[in-house]
Chains A and B, each alone.
Chain A
Amino acid sequence: MTWKMKEIVLAVVLSVICGVIYLGWSTLWIPISAVIGPVGAGFMFGIWVIASPIVAYIIRKPGAAFVAEVTAAAVELFTGSHFGLAALLVGIFQGIGSETAFAIFRYKRYNLFTLMLSGALAAVFGMIYNLLAKGFGYYSTEVLLTTLGIHIISGMILGGWLAKVVVDTLAKTGVLEQYAIMKEKRKKEDANGHVSGL
């Protein structure tokens, strides 16, 4: 399946907006995590995986979720942040997680369930990175499992569910008429129309 130019630019632009949001979210995260600790601040994790469900839900192509998360992470690199390369690695892990959720359903199902699953799997794969690079394996098992649980729930709500709310609101404004999300919707409505017409 080849990507059209406008789909490529849309994916990049949406990821860039998400990347800018990530940067802002990071500055919010540091003071909060200093007060209530990194485990508790894990509830804010979900926003960092929102790019994948947003872009995949609109464009509905294999690879969309992965590309979105990596591009959003790379915004930090492009803006010259020191965390750039590390953010890129995290983005690759989370992108693989998100992509898996849509791949399981062979890129056929894009509903609240798959979007939330993509948020959850991004949290799981993000935790694999934390184990490898940030030494989370050295924490006690309870701390580790609590953090993972909080991340998964946050990924499902702030990642998956919020992405659906945002995209559905955008669809109402009419700017998404040319993309897969509205095309499929129209196709479905047409099919239903014919059935009732019989």
Chain B
Amino acid sequence: MKVNHSFLATINPSCKLFSHVLVMLLLMVITDVKVTFLIWFLAVLIGLFLGGWTISYLLKRLCPFFGIFILIFWMMAAFGKGQETIWQWAWFHVTQESINHGLTIAFRMLAFVTYGLLFTSTTDLTVFIMSLIHQCKLSPKWAYGLLAGIRLIPLFQSELNQLKMAHKVRGYKEKNGWKMFLSYAVPMFTQGIRKSERIAIAMEARGLSRAKNRTYYRTTKVALKDGGYLVSILAIVIVMIIIFR
């Protein structure tokens, strides 16, 4: 997760996560096309005005999802339930209701993606984990374990490449898909387990596993603007639901 320098990047990550998840939960119970569209549009506006997005960034990031948007819409429209038939051919059965449902679900997916992007594009990973300790009372043992594990993601990717090259250089070819799967999975997992054991011992030796009342280099707090963000985003969404229902 890379951060830009926008207003949204200064919002407390836990608070931001909580507000976005709440909006997503609200989206799950909304079955109206117009309201769903507006809530998605709200995310776009937040991104442009508070999240530091540019129009070209937005288009580049969201473009691939318009394909999925059409796919979801089509699946729901052609295979969904409904009475008022508009068009029927072979097993496709498009109805007034299924078109409505298709648009709702497709916009909901788009909104989920946009709120997700709003979070990941403005949140620093370390600050997020720190805020989980301070605001969500996650035990530091778990938080540091999590950070150590996340650090390994690029390492695993390079290890996978190394495995591939080692197979190639030794002329190892496996036709059997099942054996090939194990020939990659077993070394990956065993290396991962060995590494995790060493990391855990190193972390214990440095006192990272100890009690909760420790001090931190970085602390995160909830300020007025964090609460303000949560309340205003929820208020706008609820007003939209009430007006356009």
The residues of A with any CB-CB pair to B shorter than 8 Å are: 3-6, 8-17, 19-20, 34, 38, 71, 75, 77-86, 89, 132-135, 138-140, 143, 166, 169-170, 173, 175-176, 178
Instruction: Decide if A175 touches B194 in the complex (CB within 8 Å).
Output: yes
B162 to chain A, nearest CB (A): 15
Q: Give Cα A54–Cα B185 distance, bound, in whole angstroms.
A: 13
Instruction: Decide if B79 touches A140 in the complex (CB within 8 Å).
Output: yes
Instruction: Decide if B149 touches A13 in the complex (CB within 8 Å).
Output: yes
Q: Give Cα A34–Cα B75 distance, bound, in whole angstroms.
A: 11
Q: Tell me whether chain B's interface is mostly helix, strand or loop, or mixed.
A: helix
9 A-B pairs with least C-beta separation: A12-B149, A6-B200, A85-B116, A13-B196, A135-B105, A5-B209, A8-B145, A9-B200, A138-B101
B53 at the binding interface (Cβ < 8 Å):
no
Q: Which residue of B lies closest to A67 (CB)?
A: B142
Chain B residues closer than 8 Å to A75, beta-carbon distance: 150, 153
Instruction: Decide if B2 touches A170 in the complex (CB within 8 Å).
Output: no
Q: Tell me whether chain A's interface is mostly helix, strand or loop, or mixed.
A: helix
B116 to chain A, nearest CB (A): 4
Q: Give Cα A81–Cα B76 distance, bound, in whole angstroms.
A: 25
Count residues of chain B with CB under 8 A from any CB of chain A.
62
Instruction: Decide if A12 touches B148 in the complex (CB within 8 Å).
Output: yes
Chain A residues closer than 8 Å to B98, beta-carbon distance: 138
Partner of B142, one of A8, A135, A143, A176: A8
Instruction: Decide if A139 touches B190 in the complex (CB within 8 Å).
Output: no
Chain B residues closer than 8 Å to A132, beta-carbon distance: 28
Instruction: Decide if B200 touches A10 in the complex (CB within 8 Å).
Output: yes
Instruction: Decide if A170 touches B193 in the complex (CB within 8 Å).
Output: yes
Chain A residues closer than 8 Å to B24, beta-carbon distance: 85-86, 89, 133
Chain A residues closer than 8 Å to B186, beta-carbon distance: 166, 169-170, 173
Decide: A17 near B188, CB < 8 A? Known: A85-B119, A135-B101. Answer: yes
